[in-house]
Structure 1
Amino acid sequence: MTNNVMIDGAENAPLFIFAHGAGAGMDHAFMQQVAMGLVAKGIRVVRFNFPYMVQRAELGTKRPPDRAPKLLEAFEHIIAQYADKPVVIGGKSMGGRMASLLSEHPLVAGIACLGFPFHPPGKQEKYKGEHLASLAKPCLILQGERDTFGKREEFAQFAFSPSIRSSFLPDGDHGFKPRKRSGFTEQGNIDLAVDTLSQYIFELYGIAERSHESE
């Protein structure tokens, strides 16, 4: 680990580059739980802090997220540093949205978005998923059923390309946390997300390796 990058998992394992959301960095509990869950499944996880989060830590002051070009540049730098063949990239909320904007990158085999921020809560008119209608590479969206940034019932209104698949966490909010009365648990939803995500990552690496062998 450096101050701005955390690496967990075996060196020769399938790699997942995992970006944080707007409000909390790479060491947030959600990021830690998902990363450790993936590592336990046999996946290597690289987490990193975007530049504004690095400055928050250094200066001790709260800063808003950088503009998309700077976020994407930082993400591309991490890909260049840690990927020598196509990898799966993704992230929590804003981090997942940034990953989806890098679908054309030659070293991106697929994308995973954990809690995609389709719109700010209560502002469905400020839709941020237009590019998902034309996404060519595989993309998994893991969404809490009652996520205020895009609930399950709203998905019928969203335009998705055929390469996108969605999976929902029962009664989950933006961080996949369900209400107590639902009978589901936060840990159960995290475990379900890790199971679904790890299967997806292994599937994509299997496809990439088979295509490489047939060349």
Structure 2
Amino acid sequence: MTPRTAVTTETVGTDAGTARVTWHRAGRGARLVLAVGHGAGGGIEARDLTALAAELPAHGVTVALVEQPWRVAGKKVAPAPKTLDTGWRGLWPALAAPGLPVISGGRSAGARVACRTATELGARAVLALSFPLHPPGRPEKSRADELLGAGVPTLVVQGGNDPFGRPGEFPECGRGRATGVPPGVRLRGNAGARAGDGRAYELVEVPYGDHGFAVPGRAGITQREAVAVITDAVVRWAGSLA
């Protein structure tokens, strides 16, 4: 049984408006902070974000669920990427306040924000959930440069049927498997990249999952099992960073 987690909420002023952080704290054994932002079409109630907040504190990772200012203000449409980045930068001092290394993360549009700002903010690593590699049906509009430019160790968790980019569409790593990468986990990135050098990244596939990691009833995996793929992968990966 997962221990009860202390949950607190704080508001943070940024140049893009007032943001909100819901903390799920790991307690005295905390080794890392995982800060995760939502996508352009939803909030922190997404199934992957709530699952991580429930599971990771028991493994020494404090989870900070971040609501961007536009969401806190009740707006229906996300602003331009530049404004999202401004909000994330303004939040960063609060995320770093516990004095622990911070994994910068997010789902969909939030993953893009994390990748674009990781190096300048001093993130320990990036967690990209449902990274929107391209708009649906438009593979020529690739955003791979954002992912490959994160500059820190990166884990991508992607649904097998994500219309914003299926796992097989992501750039391959030119060096193949690197030492220490578990079976079933793909190492990808720029040609010549090695695990941990900031240019390679790990990619974990959630079988049959769509952009929200929902799996159809006919899939050979239950919804609970699909979510477990996500949490198990992040627990393993975060443990390698601590």
The TM-score range, normalised by the shorter chain, is 0.7 to 0.9
Q: Which residue of 2 aligns with 1:98?
A: 113
Q: Which residue of 1 aligns with 2:221?
A: 184
Q: Which residue of 1 aligns with 2:181?
A: none
Q: Which residue of 2 aligns with 1:170?
A: 207
Listed as ranges, the matches of 1:60-209 within 5 Å are: 62-83=75-96, 84-156=99-171, 160-161=189-190, 162=193, 163-205=200-242
- Give the TM-score normalised by structure 2: 0.75
Letter in 1 for 2:124: A
- Give the TM-score normalised by structure 1: 0.84
Distance across 2 between alignment mates of 1:30 and 1:132: 20
Distance across 1 between alignment mates of 2:47 and 2:169: 28
Paired residues of 1:17 and 1:45 also in contact (CA < 8 A): yes
Q: CA deviation at 1:49?
A: 0.8
Paired residues of 2:70 and 2:79 also in contact (CA < 8 A): yes
Alignment match of 2:54 (pick from 36, 49, 55): 36
Paired residues of 2:133 and 2:170 also in contact (CA < 8 A): no
Deviation per CA, 1:25-71: give whole Å up to 9, x if none: 12344421222122243321011211110111xxxxx4311212221
Distance across 2 between alignment mates of 1:33 and 1:111: 18
Q: How many pairs are equivalent?
A: 200
For structure 1, the residue ranges without an aligned partner over 5 or more in a row are 57-61, 206-215
Q: Which residue of 1 aligns with 2:15?
A: none
Q: CA deviation at 1:132?
A: 2.8
CA RMSD of aligned residues (A): 2.1
Distance across 2 between alignment mates of 1:165 and 1:28: 22
Paired residues of 2:26 and 2:58 also in contact (CA < 8 A): no
Larger relative helix fraction: 1
Deviation per CA, 1:84-141: give whole Å up to 9, x if none: 3531110111111110111212530100101000111112122222233344310110
For structure 2, the residue ranges without an aligned partner over 5 or more in a row are 1-8, 12-19, 174-187, 194-199
Paired residues of 1:26 and 1:48 also in contact (CA < 8 A): yes
Q: CA deviation at 1:10?
A: 2.2
Q: CA deviation at 1:157?
A: 7.1
Q: SS state of the match for residue 164, structure 1? A: strand
Paired residues of 2:34 and 2:62 also in contact (CA < 8 A): yes
- Asked whether 1:2 is paired with 2:20, we answer no
Distance across 2 between alignment mates of 1:9 and 1:49: 17
Paired residues of 1:20 and 1:95 also in contact (CA < 8 A): yes
Q: SS state of the match for residue 180, structure 1? A: coil
Point out 4+ residue stretches in structure 1 off by more than 3 angstroms: 27-30, 156-159
